[in-house]
């Protein structure tokens, strides 16, 4: 691969022993020297290519620690419903129905929280515009599916069909008739029956999504998805096109397969690695299915328990005894408490196996549970943009409990390890928007608004750390990734502004000018451009 000296910027290393350098020496994909330009040139010797990077600041490659990358990529093949109101969605479905013959109409990204009282997502509303096609529309938070009568018939769901464990087929309270909404585990009853796109279509979508990810500074992803996504990443690797380091979480239903095959967390190499077992404790805030200790504001419901505490304990023990770490989705304060209780029950077993368990989201926490993350060694895998996008719906449904939501600073001060992601495509995969949300706690579109619970803001440095060194710790790769130091992989991102020196508001105007993976430039905005769509 040869030798390269990268210089011309302040390289923020995330390494406390050598925090800022002016050059990196790279050979065979790894950093061999970090320091002044003169010192690096002496260390690497003559004959190295010298590249002056296009920006004042550089940071380690950013990792999105929770992104549904397959779903994000496949949105390029589906109806994009994000930001549309009720009427616009029906118009879009009608337009697709006029152009489609004998196929499912599939869309995603709708959010009904701001709709009027008379604008209800029902099967009848879709029946009017679908012209007989089965329709399945996944909500923005991916915890609710809106379908029509043809879709229900296609998979054999009717009034006699029982709710699956941890799921709900919504029914009219007066008549018992199915409304057309399915929540949590009931989503899979239809979603898993929808025909897959052709393999070449999937690969085309993945290439587009990967290019976009690189343009936003991402060099790594932690992906809680299944075989189709893993297969697509392997296809890209085989063709020499993979430009993201992939940490694949394994769906909980595959635990028996992992045990039978003897697969442990961490199997793989620097490009594709098998990671945590992914489980679900509850639902989501957007669908009001997150499991709470007390009912939602003005309601009697406390959400949906997808896994009971006893079920968690059993699964955690089985996984930990076989060297498999667990990552569990938990959003409500009750779900987080149950998960922490279950992790506590396997603490000795996990410690003996060197496992680093994670809670994904950790959005609402009872104050008494915050110190338990550090005490139990549980990583809080959080998504900062949720804090700003959810602020109004959280206040509506959680009320004053929102003071204990998205507790970035409290968790850090307690000694907990944080890693950050996006939950894309639920939210934008742009990590700089996540850094802004964590440091400012305002929506970019509302600059005059007050920060939402500003006591939970963290520094720009701590936010970037959670996307870099914190991400590497969460995947057990802290000895090779997440910092710019000799012996580490040469993954870094060049920025158009020095976000550590300027007002955090300037993050909104900062762009990625170059992304480097293993010493190779995989994105350079002087030679190519790709906008998110």
In a domain, 153, yes or no: yes
- Side-chain-side CA neighbours of 114 within 13 Å: the count stands at 11
Specify whether 129 is located in the same domain as 36.
no
Average pLDDT over every residue of 490-505: 97
What torsion, rounded to 10 degrees, do the Cα atoms 286, 292, 295, 298 define? -30
The burial class, CB within 10 Å (0-12 / 13-18 / 19+), for 260 is exposed
* pLDDT at 501 exceeding the cut of 50: yes
What is the pLDDT averaged over residues 155-180?
A: 91
Which tens digits make up the pLDDT trace of 304-335? 999 999 999 999 999 999 999 999 999 999 99
Round the CA-based radius of gyration of the chain to a whole number and report it.
23
Name the domain count of the chain. Answer: 2
Cβ contacts of 505 within 8 Å, gap of 6 or more: 440, 447
First to last CA, the chain: 34
Q: Is the dihedral of CA 393, 395, 396, 399 positive or negative?
A: positive
- H or E element: which one contains 375? helix 370-376
pLDDT, average across residues 207-215 = 97
Give the model confidence (pLDDT) of 290-309 as tens digits: 999 999 999 999 999 999 99
Q: Is the pLDDT reported for residue 78 higher than 90?
A: no
Pair (98, 7) in one structural domain: no
Looking at residue 1, its pLDDT comes to: 54
Instruction: Report the sign of the C-alpha dihedral through residues 187, 190, 193, 199, in that order.
Output: negative
CATH of the domain at 180: 3.10.310.70
Let me know whether 165 and 96 are in one domain: yes
Distances 40 to 24, 414, 521 between C-alpha atoms, Å? 7, 38, 20
pLDDT over 70 for what percent of the chain? 99
Asked whether residue 421 is assigned to any structural domain, the reply reads: no
Q: What is the pLDDT of residue 118?
A: 84
Mean pLDDT for all residues in the chain: 95
20 plus 115 within the same structural domain: no
Domain with residue 493: its CATH number is 2.30.40.10
Q: How confident is the model at residue 406 (pLDDT cuts 50, 70, 90)?
A: very high
Last residue of a domain, one of 143, 165, 191: 191
pLDDT of the residue at 471: 98
The distance from CA 59 to its chain's CA centroid, rounded to whole angstroms, is 20
Residue 78 falls inside a structural domain: yes
Reported as a single tens digit per residue, the pLDDT across 358-395 is 999 999 999 999 999 999 999 999 999 999 999 999 99
pLDDT above 60: residue 172: yes
Is the pLDDT at 529 greater than 60? The verdict is: no
Q: Let me know the angle formed at the C-alpha of 57 by 521 and 211, rounded to the nearest 5 degrees.
A: 35
Question: Cα(286)–Cα(223) distance, rounded to whole angstroms?
Answer: 21
CA angle 185, 369, 387 (to 5 degrees): 65
Which of 171, 191, 211 is the C-terminal boundary of a domain?
A: 191
How much is the pLDDT for 528?
Answer: 67
Residue 193 has pLDDT above 90, yes or no: no
Domain hosting 39: range is: 1-61+482-527
Q: Where are the beta strands (DSSP E) in 189-296?
A: 218-224, 245-251, 272-280
Domain check: are 126 and 156 in the same one?
Answer: yes
């Amino acid at each position: 691969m040869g030798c390269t000296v990268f210089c011309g910027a302040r390289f923020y290393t995330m390494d406390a022993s050598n925090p800022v350098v002016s050059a990196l020496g790279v050979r065979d994909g790894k950093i061999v020297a970090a320091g002044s330009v003169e010192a690096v040139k002496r260390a690497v010797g003559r004959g190295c290519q010298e590249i002056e990077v296009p920006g004042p600041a550089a940071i380690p490659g950013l990792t999105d620690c929770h992104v549904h990358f397959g779903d994000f990529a496949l949105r390029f093949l589906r109806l994009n419903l994000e930001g549309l109101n009720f009427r616009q969605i029906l118009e879009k479905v009608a337009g697709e129905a006029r152009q489609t013959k004998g196929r499912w109409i599939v869309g995603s990204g709708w959010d009904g929280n701001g709709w009027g009282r008379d604008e209800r997502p029902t099967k009848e509303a879709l029946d009017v515009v679908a012209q007989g096609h089965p329709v399945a529309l996944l909500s923005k938070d991916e915890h609710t599916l809106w379908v029509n009568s043809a879709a229900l018939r296609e998979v054999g769901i009717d009034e006699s069909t029982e709710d699956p464990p941890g799921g709900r087929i919504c029914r009219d309270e007066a008549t018992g008739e199915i409304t057309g909404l399915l929540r949590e585990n009931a989503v899979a009853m239809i979603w898993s029956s929808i025909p897959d796109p052709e393999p070449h279509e999937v690969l085309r979508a993945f290439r587009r999504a990967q290019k976009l990810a690189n343009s936003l500074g991402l060099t790594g992803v932690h992906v809680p998805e299944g075989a189709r996504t893993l297969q697509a990443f392997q296809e890209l690797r085989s063709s020499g096109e993979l430009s993201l380091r992939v940490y694949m979480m394994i769906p909980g239903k595959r635990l028996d397969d992992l045990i039978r095959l003897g697969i442990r967390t961490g199997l793989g190499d620097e490009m594709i690695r098998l990671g945590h077992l992914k489980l679900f404790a509850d639902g989501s805030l957007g669908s009001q299915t997150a499991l709470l200790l007390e009912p939602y504001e003005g309601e009697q419901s406390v959400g949906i328990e997808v896994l009971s505490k006893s079920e968690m304990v059993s699964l955690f023990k089985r996984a930990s005894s076989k060297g498999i770490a667990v990552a569990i989705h938990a959003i409500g304060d009750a779900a987080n408490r149950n998960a922490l209780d279950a992790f506590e029950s396997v603490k000795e077993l996990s410690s003996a196996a060197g496992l680093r368990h994670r809670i994904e989201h950790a959005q609402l926490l009872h104050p008494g549970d915050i110190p338990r993350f550090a005490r139990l060694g549980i990583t809080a895998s959080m998504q900062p943009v949720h804090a700003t996008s959810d602020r109004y719906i959280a206040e509506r449904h959680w009320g004053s409990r929102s003071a204990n939501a998205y507790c970035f600073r409290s968790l850090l001060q307690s000694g907990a390890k944080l890693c950050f992601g996006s939950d894309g495509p639920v939210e934008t995969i742009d990590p700089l928007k996540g850094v802004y949300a964590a440091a400012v706690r305002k929506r970019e579109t509302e600059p005059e608004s007050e920060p939402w619970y500003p006591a939970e803001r963290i520094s720009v440095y701590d936010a970037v750390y959670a996307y870099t060194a914190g991400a590497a710790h969460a995947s057990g790769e802290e000895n090779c990734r997440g910092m710019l130091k000799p012996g580490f992989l040469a993954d870094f991102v060049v920025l158009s502004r020095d976000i550590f020196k300027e007002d955090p508001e300037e993050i909104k105007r900062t762009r990625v000018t170059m992304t480097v993976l293993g010493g190779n430039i995989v994105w350079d905005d002087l030679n190519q451009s790709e906008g998110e769509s």
